[in-house]
Amino acid sequence: MTGLLVAGTTSDAGKSVVTAGICRWLHRRGVRVAPFKAQNMSNNSAIAVSADGRGGEIGRAQALQAAACGLAPDVRFNPVLLKPGSDQSSQVIVLGEAVGHIDARNFHDLKPRLAATVLETLADLRREADVVICEGAGSPAEINLREGDFVNMGLARAANLPTIVVGDIDRGGVFAALYGTLALLDTDDQRHITGFLINKFRGDASLLDPALTKLHALTRRPVLGVLPWQVDLWLDAEDALAYGQVLGRPEPPVGAQWLRVAVVRLPRISNATDAEALATEPGVRVRLTVEAAEIDDADLVILPGSKSTVEDLRWLRETGLAEAVQRHASRGKPLLGICGGFQMLAERIHDQVESRAGTVAGLGLLPVEITFRAEKTVGNSGGTAFGSLPVRGYEIHHGYVSAARATRQPFLYYPDGTVEGAVVGHVFGTHLHGTFESDDFRRAFLTRAAGLAGRHGFTVSPSNKFGAARERTLDLLGDMIEEHVDTAALWQTIVDGVPGDQPPEGPAALPARTPWLTR
């Protein structure tokens, strides 16, 4: 049996969720299925297990896809991860481990080595799984990037993968995008394209029938399904962190009052998914913002992770948001910094590694100093907080607490009795991501935050489970594939692999069928 490549007409066309949905559908059928994304570019990462048992980084979308397969995250599911630190350079993670930085000039030279690693890793996965569902990146029609490609059609060709193309109808122009994607490919690449999927449709899908028929006639390839717009697909959506966005669909509060949470949308935000667990709570309204007014209006403000702590701290000051954060804290309202956000709250930051800026003044809201070191801390972690409540999370950072005054309390205690993070009254800081996925801790923290904010009418839900919310999302994805996709045809594509007689498409083929297009 072979695998399948899920490509897209654009970024955010829905490749990640379609891949997760297909994985869930196959897993429920009893198929041993694994996800794979050759190269991801994202600052939203998750901890996965490497071959030697150490923790490593992969894209968070691949961790969700692994859960859809009933698997623990594995570094092989995303062998190359690029984490942008600026518009010019990215940190390179290979099989979970940071190996250096690249820019547009030296990435081309690195491609052959990365491609070899990708193909070896995929071959290894295919020996273990019945099916590997691969996700492309961006669009395969980015023909300026075709040379040396190992993520889209370069991967399909090298690994002999049949490929489906996903188009987002909500953006408009989906039929032109689907046809144009195919037409721009060369003949050998086109041979791997076996069908299309239309995503995010609102309304009566039968209205699309004339266009589906026409697209099939032009390309000789079927539209395998039309997936509906689904408002509940927001967990772990790595391309959906828009300014001013309210996360999820807030449910009415259990008590008499709402709790308003403002997450500062930093330019180089990382692991912003930390706030999603809060957004699953009834009565908690979480907004990503770059507006000082929304920070002033919030009950709880969160400074999230950042791939470039010092640069994003400079941005906070230049935009006036640093003043808004400090004004919020001066009113005694709760403020939480996570990872890079925690580092910004320090008195001083010593950084000769990430920004090479030397010593920089922090916001001075926590009595600690942060020093960056070349070695990266990566791994799952946890302990207890608020007395004896268990907290699980994960760490991905270069900075560490190099000095702390006795006036601070720890954010949590590790099992060996050592401490992590800092708390001074209403200001909290931790290097741990994912802590709010621990249900009891999340409830306790929100209760504390509501009290500090004067929201005494806010009550946490005693029964809300974040893990159950994630499972509902995965099952919803599997249901969408089963209900809206020709799964018999999709399964046949996976089983049969790349057909040998797919007709070519493109400008040279157009005049014979549609001469009016050449006028």
Distance CA 338, CA 4 (A): 37
Q: In angstroms, what is the C-alpha Rg of the chain?
A: 24
Question: What are the φ and ψ backbone dihedral angles of 399, each rounded to 5 degrees?
Answer: -80, 150
Per DSSP bridges, beta strands 131-135 and 33-36 are: parallel
Distance CA 149, CA 145 (A): 7
First to last CA, the chain: 46
Question: What are the φ and ψ backbone dihedral angles of 272, each rounded to 5 degrees?
Answer: -65, -10
Per DSSP bridges, beta strands 422-424 and 427-430 are: antiparallel
Question: What are the φ and ψ backbone dihedral angles of 83, each rounded to 5 degrees?
Answer: -115, 105
Distance CA 505, CA 470 (A): 41
449 in Cβ contact with 259 (< 8 Å): yes
339 is known as an active-site residue:
yes
* Residue among 192, 350, 433, 484 flagged as catalytic: 433
* Residue among 134, 192, 339, 484 flagged as catalytic: 339
Question: What are the φ and ψ backbone dihedral angles of 203, each rounded to 5 degrees?
Answer: 120, -155
Distance CA 479, CA 200 (A): 15
Strands (DSSP E) along 160-275, which ranges?
163-168, 193-201, 223-228, 259-264, 269-270
433 is known as an active-site residue:
yes
Distance CA 114, CA 133 (A): 20
- Residue 106 structure tokens: 């030296």
Distance CA 482, CA 182 (A): 26
Per DSSP bridges, beta strands 389-404 and 412-413 are: unpaired
Distance CA 336, CA 303 (A): 6
Helix (H) or strand (E) holding 512: helix 510-513
DSSP letter string over 57-78?
Answer: EEEHHHHHHHHHTT---BGGGS
343 in Cβ contact with 311 (< 8 Å): no
Give the closest residue to 387 by CA, choosing from 410, 360, 405. Answer: 410
Active site residues: 339, 433
